[in-house]
Structure 1
Amino acid sequence: MMHKSQLQVEAIHNGTVIDHIPAGQGIKILRLFGLLHTKAKITVGLNLPSVALGSKDIIKVENVRLTSSQANQLALFAPDATVNLIEDFGVVEKLQLQLPERIEGIFSCPNSNCISHNEPVSSKFKVRAIKGQVRFRCSYCEKSFHQDFMTF
């Protein structure tokens, strides 16, 4: 039997904890930061109970510190996530997320007719939030896409 004070996901000594990720977005975030191909110790909790969200994902990465710029990229999939930097099992800094205005070279344009697929150019998107939903507008074809259609 689990007591309320017990952690469902193991604490880390040093590193980064990304909490309050909407359920189902954790895997996308692991891909975004290339964490699936790292040797860092990673603890992932998917569909954990959350008072605020109903259910949530959480990612703990041992000995990796996200920068503010990296944390802001999290806002693309989890605008209300919290990013805590951990030292000696304690939070030493909380990074505030801000949705970046532009992103480059991270996603492929979902429009198969976009020039970015046939030319040696880096993908570029303007980013904005509309009614709580993150939207991406391709700088080349100018089509707008919901976050669920964006691929790496």
Structure 2
Amino acid sequence: MSEIRQELQVAALRNGTVIDHIPSEKLFTVVSLLGLEHMDCNITIGFNLESEKLGKKGIIKIADKFFDDEEINRITVVAPHVKLNIIREYEVIEKRELELPDELQGIVKCANPKCITNNEPMPTRFHVIDKETCVIKCHYCEKEFKKEDIVLSQRRTL
């Protein structure tokens, strides 16, 4: 099935956000990270769609919702390089490929039990050492973590 035909299977979005090129195996993690199951707006989720770049991909269209930087940064930890499109009046007004920021605050939990963030009520802070392989370093205890060892902190309530 051609990509044009797939696009016709999902209704156009008047205003909102489209998150595209999500690796299929990460789609429902992204849904959970953004708390989409708790939102009242119209949400369309496409799963295992054909993709030349990924083989299979996911896409999420969220009507009348625009995400802040913290929410977007949560996505980049599990699915870097997704495409984010901002839609206003059926037109894409902003299109960007996401990447890990230089610093993650309050998003990742430090796995070091002796770290001050696990013993005091304070947000975590990590420096991104390698954006391609997702290696991060705790600002406080200086312990480094690879992508497979990262645990996301509890999501703030909307």
Any residues of structure 2 matched to 1:1-150 within 5 Å, and which? 5-7=5-7, 8-67=9-68, 70-71=71-72, 73-129=74-130, 132-148=132-148, 149-150=150-151
Note closer, same or farther for the CA distance 1:43–1:128 as it changes in structure 2 (3 Å cut): farther
> Offset of 1:102 from its aligned partner?
0.8
Q: 1:36 to 1:133 in 2, by over 3 A?
A: farther
- Superposed CA deviations along residues 73-99 of structure 1, whole A, max 9, x for unmatched, are 543333321111112333222134342
- What 5-or-longer segments of structure 2 have no aligned partner? 154-158
- Mapped to 2, the partners of 1:6 and 1:22 lie a distance apart of 17
In the TM superposition, what whole-angstrom CA distance separates every residue of 1:45-95 from its partner, at most 9, and x where no partner exists?
Answer: 233221111111211111012356754554333332111111233322213
Alignment partner of 1:24: what SS? helix
Conserved in 2, the CA contact under 8 Å of 1:99 and 1:128? no
Structure 2 SS opposite 1:45: strand
Please give the per-residue CA displacement for 1:87-141, whole angstroms capped at 9, x wherever unaligned: 23332221343421111112212333433212112111111335x2112211222
For these two proteins, the number of residue pairs brought into alignment is: 150
Distance 1:5 1:69, change over 3 A: same
Q: What do you get for the CA RMSD once the two structures are aligned?
A: 2.6
Compute the TM-score of the two structures, normalised by the length of structure 2.
0.77
Residue 140 of structure 2 aligns with an amino acid whose one-letter code is Y
Query: Per residue, is there more helix in 1 or in 2?
Result: 2
Contact residue 127 and residue 137 of structure 2 kept, 8 A: yes
How far does residue 14 in structure 1 lie from its aligned partner after superposition? 1.4
The CA distance in 1 between the partners of 2:6 and 2:59, in whole Å, is 16
Q: Secondary structure at the match of 2:107?
A: coil
- Does structure 1 retain, via aligned residues, the 8 Å contact 2:81–2:97? no
- SS of the counterpart of 2:37? helix
Q: Report the Cα distance in structure 2 between the residues aligned to 1:115 and 1:87, rounded to whole angstroms.
A: 43
Contact 2:50 2:57 in 1 (8 A): yes
Q: Which ranges of structure 1 fall in alignment gaps of 5 or more residues?
A: none
